[in-house]
Structure 1
């Protein structure tokens, strides 16, 4: 028996087999481009241009269609310098189910857990007249599950703002998806820097992947990576009244077997004890 997640032979683009697997034409078009470029993988921009040539229309969601195809097919990413190339390797023995299906009862529990308030601004429909929606903390398109633990309440305004923030970084979707699902915030930030090593990563993207919102301090997490032996260069730039920070990974150490959190907490506790001893 072929194990889940392994690959099988690829169906031809015009085959009935592919039509049964992919019922949407836009997915079949992107599949054709990947299928025909197996000998010479393309960047996302090149895939997008091929799709335009085939359809005559500019579909800005080509990157999302590639992610959708990954539920059925094994698509590898090869980074060469700053470019990512996409290679169709085979078909998954078992389609990947990212969504799981949030029930009505589950949605009700999310409302109850958040007290009907927006997780970002704290406003409610009754007190502030806003509309509240159930939002996926890690978007489904980036591999987030459709389960209660991945849901929060946002007002429509903040929900649209969040969508816009992700849209600003759609060219880095591959790196974001590799980082954003980790449980530990240090892992999320560190894996993002590793995926984009050699390039400057803006602080707003780090904040987005850190997923701490107002409850944490991603810049502190970046400093804490030094405890693990990491070297991260920072560059600051003035833009109007704002000072923007950009971070570049110069050196990374392997993650501790127990995870970064416990190691960093022990180091911080020892530093506090040392400070007390010196003060005493």
Structure 2
């Protein structure tokens, strides 16, 4: 891997960096990533090197890596169960997180989720995992820094989610156009429209659908046919997995009342007809 030139990155001891990162802990994390920008690091390696610098508590390093992303492009990805981090450059526009969640709002999020990870269901007390407040729609994709856009994730799943988004960073514009819609059909449909003519992997559709364990994005894709859409699928075997890729061939305008009510009426009518035939 070729390391970035670093021409656009401020030096760790520079006044410019001090003006960008006002906290010593953040500057320590930056120094570690800056000095290792040709060498991807695991979170454990970052913690060890930060501690060697200034004795910063391990428990704060994860948050500081996330905070660093407000100003700098820190790429993350997953290999097996290990997550890696690499400082790539500056963000084109610093992320604005002024205000943030209040302590009361964070407490309500913890209460709403029962201090349990929204993805795997583990808890600190029962499973000895660390729980963090996660933005369901990432801030850098236009998600609001508000309570209703927050969930609880264990640290492992939070890193996995970051890595999943990082895998599709070349599609960030298409994702940002789709992921903030209220209706799941709109989220999936707008993603397909933004990437029309290209195959969209099911893992990206699942990511944008935002249904986690509560829904079935492949069913939503089938329901688009009710609206007159044509979406083709290609399946490919990779090891023990079968991967699906979807391509939008034709899209209709969204109904004025939204796709959800139209789909529900069609499904209700289908069930009534089936019941009449069987009865």
Give the TM-score taking structure 2 as reference length: 0.68
- Where structure 2 has 5 or more consecutive residues not aligned to the other structure, the ranges are 1-18, 22-72, 74-85
The alpha-carbon deviation at position 101 of structure 1 amounts to: 2.1
Deviation at 1:60, TM superposition (A): 3.1
Cα deviation digits, residues 90-148 of structure 1 (max 9, x gap): xxxxxxx6765211110000000000000011111111100000000000000001110
Could you tell me which residue of structure 2 aligns to residue 221 of structure 1? 220
Aligned to 1:136: 135
Aligned counterpart, 1:237: 236
Q: Would you say how many aligned residue pairs link Structure 1 and Structure 2?
A: 198
Give me the whole-angstrom Cα distance separating, in 1, the residues matched to 2:244 and 2:257. 30
| SS of equivalent residue, structure 1 residue 193 | helix
Question: Contact conserved, 1:143 with 1:181, CA < 8 A, in 2?
Answer: yes
Q: Distance in 1 between matches of 2:121 and 2:136?
A: 16
Q: Give the C-alpha shift of residue 277 in structure 1.
A: 1.0
**Cα distance in 2, alignment partners of residues 266 and 100 from structure 1:** 42
Q: Which residue does 1:259 correspond to in 2? A: 258
Q: Distance in 1 between matches of 2:89 and 2:254?
A: 34
Change (3 A) 1:98 1:270: farther
For 2:88 and 2:170, the matched residues in 1 are separated by: 11
1:1-280 matched pairs, under 5 angstroms: 60=88, 65-66=91-92, 68=93, 101-280=100-279
Structure 1 residue ranges without an equivalent (≥5): 1-22, 26-47, 49-57, 72-96
Equivalent-residue separation in structure 1 for 2:127 and 2:210 (angstroms): 25
Check whether the contact 1:100–1:145 (CA below 8 A) recurs between aligned residues. Answer: no
- Aligned CA distance change for structure 1 residues 233 and 134 (closer, same or farther; 3 Å): same
Paired residue for 2:51?
A: none
TM value normalised by structure 1: 0.67
Distance in 1 between the 2:99 and 2:185 partners? 27
CA distance in 2, matches of 1:174, 1:212: 21
